[in-house]
Amino acid sequence: MPPRPSSRHLRVACQMDPIDRIDIRGDSTFALLLEAQARGHELFYYLPQALTLDGATLRARGETLRVKDEAGAHYAVSNARVEDLSTFDVVLLRQDPPFDMAYITSTHLLERIHPKTLVVNDPREVRNAPEKLWVLDFQDLMPPTMVTRSLADVQAFRERHGDIIVKPLYGNGGASVFRIQPGDTNLGSLVELFQTIFREPFMVQQYRPEVRQGDKRIILVDGELAGVINRVPAAGETRSNLHVGGTAAAVELTARDREICARLGPELKRRGLIFTGIDVIGDYLTEINVTSPTGIRHIQQHGGPDIAAMIWDAIAWKVGEGRVMAGHG
């Protein structure tokens, strides 16, 4: 057996959305912070807009963070200051999409300190693997899918596949996801709306009725299958996302789920994507989430493993390997 990951206390910076607004019951970033604190790691919290690149030095204006698993009193901050992020062992890149130019710019900035400071996930690979585009490298695992801005192409796609889903490429949380059935006369208006709101193309996908039985969120840690939760849509709702009324439930992994994970795992590991969440409906892969995956609290609440601990074990390995390669023992 390999030796256990190092128990050395780490300096950890977390780039995330405002912590006062999170719902700690299901927030994966909060689970990671709780586990880091339990291990004795130092936590420094800052917002994405607090980054400054001054010459070759990447700084962030933030605060020391303490967390507590208690709704309404879940955090305390102190000692506001500016820190050189290259002095940290780890930076958690955990703000939610939209995956816009602000997000992309932050990955360029963080890339300047990685991997000497381990950024999780690898900022270059986060930038190069947007959830609804990189998944197209695995089209044999997916339902029929098109990326386009053309109404004529969308109409032809619906003629071939009947029931379809239309969604933006860079949204999150089920926002602006529409189901258009064969006889729906709103398709033209919807495409026109998407053409007006979004400069980029959008995604059109065959609707899979298996979603009524749930949309599985499967977590992989450093390319290895870690856990799964099923998200079942509310009655009358197409989307299974929990914050729009979906219900979390325990579920068993199928042979097909394991096949999909086996296909993706080596590439996730190669790319330095330590924390990844994939979405599977029926037998079909629909998304690979690498920007700010979630689901680990719900998995543990429904009898699954402590994935936050698994992620920190993987991070400890990476930090330890980096120190050895740098000649620090």
Question: CA–CA separation, 54 vs 50, rounded Å?
Answer: 13
Q: Among 31, 35, 59, which Cα is nearest to 46's?
A: 59
Q: 272 near 122, Cβ under 8 Å?
A: yes
**β-bridge mates for residue 164, sequence order:** 180, 206
* 4 catalytically annotated: no
For 9, phi then psi, to 5°, come to -70, 135
Question: CA–CA separation, 313 vs 300, rounded Å?
Answer: 17
* 279 catalytically annotated: yes
Burial (0-12, 13-18, 19+ Cβ within 10 Å), 6: middle
* 217 catalytically annotated: yes
- Catalytic one among 122, 125, 222, 279? 279
- Catalytic one among 94, 158, 216, 217? 217
Quick one: tokens of 212?
């009524």
Question: CA–CA separation, 106 vs 123, rounded Å?
Answer: 8
* 79 catalytically annotated: no
- Catalytic one among 94, 231, 297, 318? 231
- Catalytic one among 94, 127, 239, 271? 239
- Catalytic one among 94, 127, 158, 167? 167
* 269 catalytically annotated: no
* 283 catalytically annotated: no
Please tell me whether residue 175 adopts helix, strand or coil conformation. Answer: coil
- Catalytic one among 94, 132, 297, 318? 132
* 11 catalytically annotated: no
Question: CA–CA separation, 312 vs 33, rounded Å?
Answer: 10
Question: CA–CA separation, 60 vs 48, rounded Å?
Answer: 9
- Catalytic one among 35, 158, 287, 318? 287
Question: CA–CA separation, 164 vs 157, rounded Å?
Answer: 8
Question: CA–CA separation, 212 vs 208, rounded Å?
Answer: 9
Q: 172 near 97, Cβ under 8 Å?
A: yes
Question: Apex CA 87: angle with CA 8 and CA 83, to 5°?
Answer: 125
* 241 catalytically annotated: no
Q: 71 near 101, Cβ under 8 Å?
A: no
The catalytic residues are 132, 167, 217, 231, 239, 279, 287, 289
